[in-house]
Structure 1
């Protein structure tokens, strides 16, 4: 029995000894009152005060102890003797597995001294002997730990070997050494582990800054799980281990092994730790002991202040903060840090929209003053994240996402769910399937509530002045569709689509309004009539005349009042900011218009008015800058299939991921750090493994570059600077992409005829898209930017050659149209080139090719393009004009 003596010269024994200002715990799960706590803490500061050893429980009888010892001895002998005997009987004497020096010499000389089967047998035998030896050492160490408290040093082994050996040894120790419940004194159960050791039921005190929390851990928890719950990153468990190593704990113990943390201990976490939403209760903050007799009153209970919010992720190659929340995926869909939940169906539809977006952007000419730089700007963060995750799990966008009847939305997830339904409707259908390209009708007030002010509509998103205008718009659509049904003497629109495919497209219509507005008699009649004509409604609030679904914050749905569900169990829920970013992308993909519309025919500076360039532009031209006598510069080609020229020396081949790393660094001339590279190239791999793979692939790339240019330690691929960014050494590496960029930049500043030479070099460089044949998930923005550069180079070169050599201009433009088939100004220039040759049929052929190409975008040629074709052909058909004679061209707009 422990005795607490206060005053006098009697020995003082308290339940624990802790530094000043920390909590005093006399027993697990209980604390002293203020008076005892203050005096116990005061005595605890004396250097000779230690906790009294607990009285041992009454052990088992002599017979029971004898049986336990026999069982333990038998198990140890079995593990120590049986495996060696079996291995010796099967494989023979282990000394024979070690080859002699003569055998090594013969093997190196002939490579035939050992047959492959013998080599395999010897290898398997050696591995089994090593496993037994490691198990025996761990077993002996466990016995020593039980007998005298001595512990083996922790082995630093690779993860697979660590799991195998310690798993085998742990199984052996548990099966052989563990005594039955109720035996003699045993060590207190461990409650936390770094990686795989299970936690026993217990409570630890979590310290975050000046705040304390009682945290109950359960079997299966680990430091990595604690790091994930409190820090948002399971890989940060070593930080917790470092903060608590060698800190005094209850009973005078110290944390020396992160695999062993006992109940009642205190666990300090980094200052940016956040309280999990469940399983954590704030603990009273106990003030430090002070000399006055009266104990101070407890301060009010406070919760830890949350750390400052992380900045939004950058769209450049700069990595986001380590502690910033990351998107995750599940069977339900993609979960963004903002709370947005995107189902896989909508994610696949957005991925299709992104592909359409690149085609629309290729139609626009690079505006005057636009920067021709790398890396190319990325898509908005939500769009880019959804697109990248959808590529890992491709799916087919559905064409039936709208409810069959008007439906009410109620619950905390209503605004996000309605936004998700709007985006799902706007992403249905393809340009060649107009009957399924749904349209949305919404009044301005409801639109402002959902998306904020300033949103404008387009042909598939109709924003009306008020709800009355919305109902009138829907009434007009109902009358129009009813008239078409009457003309064909049919009952449904599906029958019209099947029997009269030439009829105009009649896509589904989604009406968005509040349930209060839709409760008027006129609105109820309109919604009832529209149900049979592919017109439905999503109503915000309980819908008394139909079905209402309760929507949770994470998008789970439940039909109310026993109605049959009209929505799936999981729907899309979008944050307002994410929804606006997605709407802007969808709008641009549908119409080709952006928030800041670029001019389709920009005015380029007159080259004759430019100052001649007397000094070279300070850009990386791709020319070697190494001193004579050093290693030869290596040329990397990323336009077309990625490859390295001039590989002549023997060695390992270039790995697929190393080639992707080369393309990524070519697109980022300033380099990128390991985290950023891992995020883009290895997004589906855990952070630590991704870093290791990045280093491995960088080493392989450096090795292959040395095969082409010669041994160059520290060159080719650099990793220097305070940020430790990987980048190519411009003195020893040239990249064709950088040459294309610099040639086009110099051409924009150089007058003719020197400009023509630069443009010709740029056109000769671009023969295929960036990383052709490789569908890297991050490549699209860079590939489209480079495609636009190449198209611009071909167009400018054709304009320079049109007056002197129109046939060459026609050939250059034909190549440019093949590389970028949706860019309308290329077709306009081709028409002028055919006009210069007197080829009227060529002009008509070019116009037909443009019309056919734009059908992929659900678009038609610009009226100015059609007028230009008619004017050019009319000029060639004038009486008395001979074929091949040049005539004045219509105003080209340049």
Structure 2
């Protein structure tokens, strides 16, 4: 009663109990071993020795047995089966982890199917381009409160995040022979002995429609850098594949041609290239065999269309990249596809074919959104509005109330811990970095720094391990948090992460965060009655680098871009209010260094250079910006870069 249970006393009691159990086990094992030894020695003493005749007979029998055994054939044990879990990176030849993450093939398993690794990398690259386009299109304006969210900052679909997370910090595995993906034999029009028959193939089985969706997504991703049509599909088939979103999404997908019947497909082959028309069948066949000329689009139809227009399809198949038919195809091969994407030839051999990309309706729609043109009905970029998922897109609704309780770092601050997340994430103790052993633990620190009001278990697991079953992640999160707490407690002697009401948050009384200091400066700049250059300079001074620079965690993009836009707004505000043309240009150039993809900053800088009479520098800036966009895979759409004059931006002072 005088010494109630504490964490230390409970630990000591458990340790003593464990030692007692171990001693009991050791005592039992020792007694059993001694008993067996005594019995063995006693048996050896009473064992009769063989006579000479018995020894000779035993030697002959042993030699005969060994001679027969040396010629016996032993079959190798069958390889262990490996189950597939969603949201994991599959690699050939690696053992199955105990938590269910499976490495079976060279691809990515997500909740709604399987993607070859090349396709997954294209999805990740397309997602990066989405954010680059959003950065290019943003138009700076007077800084707003930290909680302000723009509609174009909505996070990408969960499937895209799952693919990005699976690819992050991974080593490319060896390609699986026969895996159908962009750039694989499936899309390179191999011969009949290759992965995809030259005359096309019919798809049947439980995974047939999922495989057709995978072919649709893979082909559009592979052809997104080319202006030509990549996929031709009939409207009934597209409705079956994409469901309710087929009509709206189909109009926004570059490289997709939707036709009513098979006869309309001929128009997509009548280009300048000889043989693209139906009349050049012989030339097209020679080009297909020799590998000359660009391949035609991929054709996806149903069995009814093939039956009605068999002759037209036979001609189109010559110049197409591939032909897939939903259903049996009497004129060619037919594959049976299982839900995992593995194929089997529907002939007498029943041999296995390549593994195809398989996607459910929801998963395919999620992946197609990263290459679809923006919806013209949605608000333009840079407009304010509620986010679809505030907890992951930016600041949560409780931000304004909780942020006021987080004091910023001052010169006489007694708190020894400082969390730096602008730039390379680092936890500092008295100015020295604290080693964080787990990458997930570092993510937890940055996530909680970006959400001062805290996050619950669901938000943390969905952000750090997107796409994986939540039931298998709770224990992983607890292990990560326990290791992080132990590291900080042993190093600094404090509990950095608080936990109450199933919400985790950073203890603001024990740590300072540079992101909180930056948001405090933004809030001061937007709430001060007489805003001057000092408030904007304070915002710029509190922004040393991007949030978690060089980290590719999928949940980071909306918050990182929100923070970057506050810094850009401050630079644009200082340039607009400056009375010196050269000083205004310097602020614009500093803003371009923060975001070298923003078109509006470049337009203002070009106008400022023209105002100063430096036309050569203005022309160099135009070309350099165009080269940068082209290197990133996007083209400049702001025509003001080619026609900017001082009159376009009257706020720029004239020297």
What is the TM-score normalised by the length of structure 2?
0.68
Match of 2:311 in 1: 524
Cα shift at 1:464: 2.8
Which residue of 1 is the match for residue 533 of structure 2? 756
> In structure 2, what is the equivalent of residue 137 of structure 1?
27
- Verify the 8 A CA contact 1:622 1:735 in the aligned structure 2: no
Q: Give 2:508's aligned residue.
A: 730
Q: Could you tell me whether the CA contact under 8 Å between 2:165 and 2:465 is conserved in 1?
A: no
CA RMSD of aligned residues (A): 4.7
1:476 Cα deviation (Å)? 2.6
Query: Which residue number in structure 1 is paired with residue 256 of structure 2?
Result: 462
What pairs with 1:22-171 in structure 2 (closer than 5 Å)?
135-139=25-29
Cα contact 2:536–2:573 (8 A) shared by 1 = yes
1:242-296 CA deviation, whole Å, 9 max, x = no partner? Answer: xxxxxxxxxxxxxxxxxxxxxxxxxxxxxxxxxxxxxxxxxxxxxxxxxxxxxxx
Whole-angstrom distance in 2 between the partners of 1:796 and 1:518 = 62
The alignment partner of 2:610 has SS state of helix
Give me the whole-angstrom Cα distance separating, in 1, the residues matched to 2:289 and 2:577: 54
| Partner residue in 2 for 1:446 | 237
Give distance in 2, aligned partners of 1:743 and 1:671: 21
After superposition, the Cα gap between the structure-2 partners of 1:721 and 1:835, relative to the gap in structure 1 and judged at 3 Å, is same
Residue 75 of structure 1 is matched in structure 2 by none
2:549 to 764, 772, 790: 772
- Aligned residue for 1:331, secondary structure, equals coil
Aligned residue for 2:340? 554
1:569 aligns with 2:354: yes
Q: CA deviation at 1:647?
A: 0.9
Partner of 1:668: 451
Task: Mark the structure with the bigger radius of gyration.
Answer: 1
Could you tell me how far 1:542 is from its partner in structure 2?
1.1
- Once residues 364 and 863 of structure 1 are traced to their aligned partners in structure 2, the CA distance between those partners, rounded to angstroms, is 8
2:403 aligned with 1:624: no
Q: What are the Cα deviations for residues 522-551 of structure 1, in whole angstroms up to 9, with x where unaligned?
A: x533x4344443433221111122111111
What per-residue deviation string (whole Å, max 9, x for no partner) do you get for residues 450-473 of structure 1? Answer: 112332334633343512564243
Q: Does the aligned pair in 2 maintain the 1:328–1:336 contact within 8 Å?
A: no
Distance 1:576 1:840, change over 3 A: same
CA change 1:755–1:509 in 2 (3 A) is farther
Which structure 2 segments of 5+ residues have no match?
1-18, 41-82, 88-98, 176-180, 188-195, 386-399
Q: Tell me if structure 2 keeps the 8 A contact 1:348–1:394.
A: no
**Structure 1's 346 and 761: CA in aligned 2 closer, same or farther, altered over 3 A?**
same
Q: Secondary structure at the match of 1:557?
A: strand
Partner of 1:220: none
Which consecutive unaligned segments of at least 5 residues does structure 1 have? Answer: 1-128, 144-168, 177-228, 234-312, 314-325, 499-505, 605-616, 873-886
User: 1:804-819 maps to which residues of 2 (within 5 A)?
Assistant: 804-819=579-594
Deviations along 1:821-847, whole A, 9 cap, x unmatched? 222112112122223322222221221
Q: Does residue 419 of the first structure (1) align with residue 213 of the second (2)?
A: yes
Mapping for residues 106-505 of structure 1, pairs under 5 Å:
135-139=25-29, 329-332=102-105, 333-337=107-111, 339-365=112-138, 372-373=146-147, 378-391=155-168, 393-395=170-172, 398-400=182-184, 401-402=186-187, 403=196, 404-428=198-222, 431=225, 434=226, 439-453=230-244, 454-458=248-252, 460-468=254-262, 470-477=264-271, 482=276, 491-492=286-287
Contact 2:229/2:268 (8 A) holds in 1: no
- SS across alignment from 2:358: coil
Check whether the contact 1:464–1:470 (CA below 8 A) recurs between aligned residues: no
1:409 touches 1:540 (CA, 8 Å); kept in 2?
yes
**Aligned residue number for residue 596 of structure 2:** 821
Residue 425 (structure 2) pairs with residue 642 (structure 1): yes
CA gap 1:656/1:809 in 2 versus in 1, 3 angstroms: farther
Contact 2:334 2:346 in 1 (8 A): yes
Residue 647 and residue 336 in structure 1: after superposition, are their counterparts in 2 closer, same or farther (change >3 A)? same
Give deviations 1:495-546, integer Å, cap 9, x for gaps.
7879xxxxxxx4651122212112334x533x43444434332211111221
Contact 2:129 2:634 in 1 (8 A): no
The aligned counterpart of 1:699 is: 486
Question: Aligned with 1:771: secondary structure?
Answer: coil
Contact 1:622 1:736 in 2 (8 A): no
Name the residue aligned to 2:12: none
The counterpart of 1:799, out of the listed 568, 576, 582, is: 576
In 1, Cα distance between the equivalents of 2:574 and 2:402? 22
8 Å contact kept, 2:224–2:254? no
User: Partners in 2 of 1:371 and 1:494 — Cα distance?
Assistant: 62
Instruction: Report Cα offsets for 1:31-77 as digits up to 9, x if no partner.
Output: xxxxxxxxxxxxxxxxxxxxxxxxxxxxxxxxxxxxxxxxxxxxxxx
Number of the residue aligned with 1:586: 371
Per-residue CA distance 1:734-780 (angstroms, 9 max, x = gap): 322233334335545667x6153332222222232222344556544
1: distance between equivalents of 2:647 and 2:476?
Answer: 65
Q: Give the aligned partner of residue 498 of structure 2.
A: 719
1:831 aligned to which of 583, 595, 606: 606
Residue 199 of structure 1 is matched in structure 2 by none
Contact map agreement 2:204 2:326 (CA 8 A) in 1: yes
Q: Structure 2 CA distance, aligned partners of 1:580 and 1:327?
A: 26
TM-score by length of 1: 0.51
Find the residue that maps to 1:558 and give its secondary structure: strand
Give CA-to-partner distance per residue, 1:304-358, whole Å, 9 cap, x none: xxxxxxxxx9xxxxxxxxxxxx995441444444x52334343233223223332
Summarize the Cα distance change of 1:822–1:677 in structure 2 as closer, same or farther, 3 Å threshold: same
1:892 & 1:507 partners in 2: Cα distance? 52
Following the alignment from structure 1 to structure 2, what is the Cα–Cα distance between the partners of residues 664 and 745? 20
Change (3 A) 1:619 1:679: closer
